[in-house]
Structure 1
Amino acid sequence: MRITFIGGGNMATALIAGLLRQGHAAEQISVVEHNAEARARLAADFHVNTYAQLCAEAVIADAVVLAIKPQQLKEVAQALSPLLATQLVVSIAAGVRARTLSAWLMGYANVVRSMPNTPAMIGAGVTALYALAAVQPAQRQMAQTILESAGSVLWVDDEALMDAVTAVSGSGPAYVFYFIEAMQQAALELGLSADAARQLALETMLGSARLAAGSSEDAATLRARVTSKGGTTERALQRMDEAGVKAAIVGAIHAAAERSVELGDALQ
């Protein structure tokens, strides 16, 4: 599979590194990146083909991955459109709907929209994918192979669900970091050193996630199991319930989904 990335930023770099780890040949990967320093780094680190500008030669590929900012996507899509024949186009630009991108590509419909998250940069991401009806099964598999190089993937059949995906997993790392911040702050206020606060918060979060991922039981059951009657955990959770923490988190994710809809509307 020949793959061309348009844009050579963090997410493209993560996907390229993941593909190479999985045994994909470097000579089958090309990157269009206008920044000379970034282009040189990609060539030196990964030995992939690099181009300073979008051109016909650069997109002789089976899949073209648009790894650029949403605000740049319309201009790039219009330049890309006359260079397309049968290539799969995969977008990782947040908020831009597949049908909008197809319109910018002058009706070209071999389009998959994806929503990765930042843990993809260490191969631990999760990405949701949505394909337009014209995308063939083999092309869906191409898209899945590319995004699986940076973590797990899931497909959604209704593009409207991508706003929920954005709110839960796209923005989700920030929620986790926010909770880690709070845990570290409390640890410091209780007299622990900064190093100890960081280690305890991070390792507790990481270990708990691993425990939940490896269990067939839901999070509520796991939480109940460590909440002894009359104990410290119960007291902490009671305080969170009194403060409406869970309701606030749920409401915040709904707000993120609403904002995702607004951004999608604005980018049409």
Structure 2
Amino acid sequence: MNFSKERPFLLVGAGKMGGAMLSGWMAEGIDPASVVVCDPHLSGDMDTLLKHHGIRHVTAVPADLHAGTVLVAVKPQMMDQVLPGISPVVSEDTLVLSVAAGTPVSKFHGVFGLVPICRCMPNTPAMVKRGITAVYPTSEVTDAHRRDVAKLLSAVGQVVWLESEDQIDLVTGVSGSGPAYVFYLAEALSEAGKSAGLPDDIAHELAVATVCGAGELLHQSGEHPSVLRQNVTSPNGTTAAALDVLMHENGLQPVMTEAVAAAIKRARELAE
């Protein structure tokens, strides 16, 4: 790995995503002494995690730190304020990872120079090691860097590699924002159950268990979603009646396509 106690892994921003990834790495047995977390506003849970593992916490990047790897996990709006403070600890062989939406690698190169950079788009299921992270590597990223990045990110889920930076915005619209779409599906299914006459608590329990169970079946089976859909759809049965509505030309697909397009549009606006 591209970090050690002498050249530590510097995590800048320990919010939901940065914290989720750190939790996954600790569970994988990464040496806490090789990690430094920089965040002036830690949550109570994150403070407990750092103290439990004995991870060094700072509110500003120490000038004498010589980082082997830096993960920038702050909001895009904070980049102009945060990046100059990181610059003194980044050398030409420091690997920089970013999980910030809408922040192009050109901004990092403008501050750090032509260091190896991987722009990453993870998602929140990383909190339970079931995330997926898409990675765009710059030309400075070596095969050894790729192996290190893959090992780091696979601790919290799957990893896919992108061929162009433009694809990051597309990934944002599908998997980056995607968990919220699934959560909303559970909400909507619960509300539909209540509207049909079920008690609130039962409708909620049924909807959540159905979404979780269907997702796990999809994960474990390895089948295409369309195959699983067909497997539970009897001709002229109850599921077929519901799918006639969901698969109508004005049903779920055009709404989902519009939603993903809106997320992509917003991701591109953030980069401007």
Q: Same fold (TM over 0.5)?
A: yes
Q: What SS class does the counterpart of residue 23 from structure 1 fall into?
A: coil
Contact preservation (8 Å) 1:3, 1:62: yes
The alpha-carbon deviation at position 263 of structure 1 amounts to 1.7
Q: Which residue of 2 aligns with 1:51?
A: 58
The alignment status of 1:30 with 2:36, answered yes or no, reads yes
* Cα distance between partner residues in 2 of 1:37 and 1:215: 37
TM-score by length of 1: 0.91
Q: Which residue of 1 aligns with 2:198?
A: 192
Q: Does 37-46 or 2-11 show the bigger shift?
A: 37-46
TM-score by length of 2: 0.89
Tell me the alpha carbon deviations over residues 198-222 of structure 1, each in whole angstroms, 9 at most, x when there is no partner.
Answer: 2211121112122222334321222
* Cα distance between partner residues in 2 of 1:36 and 1:250: 37
Equivalent runs, 1:62-77 vs 2, <5 Å: 62-77=68-83
Note the aligned Cα RMSD (angstroms).
1.9
Tell me the alpha carbon deviations over residues 55-99 of structure 1, each in whole angstroms, 9 at most, x when there is no partner.
Answer: 233x42321111111111122222222322121111111111122
Q: Which amino acid aligns with 2:199?
A: S
Q: Which amino acid aligns with 1:235?
A: A
* Cα distance between partner residues in 2 of 1:179 and 1:100: 36
Q: Which residue of 2 aligns with 1:257?
A: 264
Q: Which residue of 2 aligns with 1:95?
A: 102
* Cα distance between partner residues in 1 of 2:43 and 2:187: 34
Change (3 A) 1:153 1:72: same
* Cα distance between partner residues in 2 of 1:149 and 1:14: 11
Instruction: Point out where structure 2 has 5 or more consecutive residues left out of the alignment.
Output: none
176, 183, 186: which one pairs with 1:177?
Answer: 183
Q: Which amino acid aligns with 2:53?
A: F
* Cα distance between partner residues in 1 of 2:182 and 2:72: 27
Q: What SS class does the counterpart of residue 103 from structure 1 fall into?
A: helix
Contact preservation (8 Å) 1:115, 1:127: yes
111, 127, 138: which one pairs with 2:144?
Answer: 138
Instruction: Point out where structure 1 has 5 or more consecutive residues left out of the alignment.
Output: none
Q: Which residue of 1 aligns with 2:215?
A: 209
* Cα distance between partner residues in 2 of 1:23 and 1:233: 45
* Cα distance between partner residues in 2 of 1:216 and 1:53: 45
Change (3 A) 1:217 1:41: closer
236, 245, 250: which one pairs with 1:239?
Answer: 245
The alignment status of 1:127 with 2:138, answered yes or no, reads no
Count the aligned residue pairs. Answer: 263
Contact preservation (8 Å) 1:74, 1:104: no
* Cα distance between partner residues in 1 of 2:176 and 2:197: 34
Contact preservation (8 Å) 2:67, 2:90: no
* Cα distance between partner residues in 2 of 1:259 and 1:37: 28
Q: What SS class does the counterpart of residue 180 from structure 2 fall into?
A: helix
Change (3 A) 1:37 1:121: closer
Structure 1 stretches of 4+ with a deviation exceeding 3 A read 36-43
The alpha-carbon deviation at position 241 of structure 1 amounts to 3.0
Contact preservation (8 Å) 1:33, 1:50: yes
Q: Which residue of 1 aligns with 2:84?
A: 78
Q: Does 240-249 or 170-179 show the bigger shift?
A: 240-249
The alpha-carbon deviation at position 149 of structure 1 amounts to 2.2
* Cα distance between partner residues in 2 of 1:66 and 1:185: 38
Q: Which amino acid aligns with 2:97?
A: V
Q: What SS class does the counterpart of residue 71 from structure 1 fall into?
A: helix
Q: Which amino acid aligns with 1:177?
A: F
* Cα distance between partner residues in 2 of 1:180 and 1:165: 22
The alignment status of 1:220 with 2:226, answered yes or no, reads yes
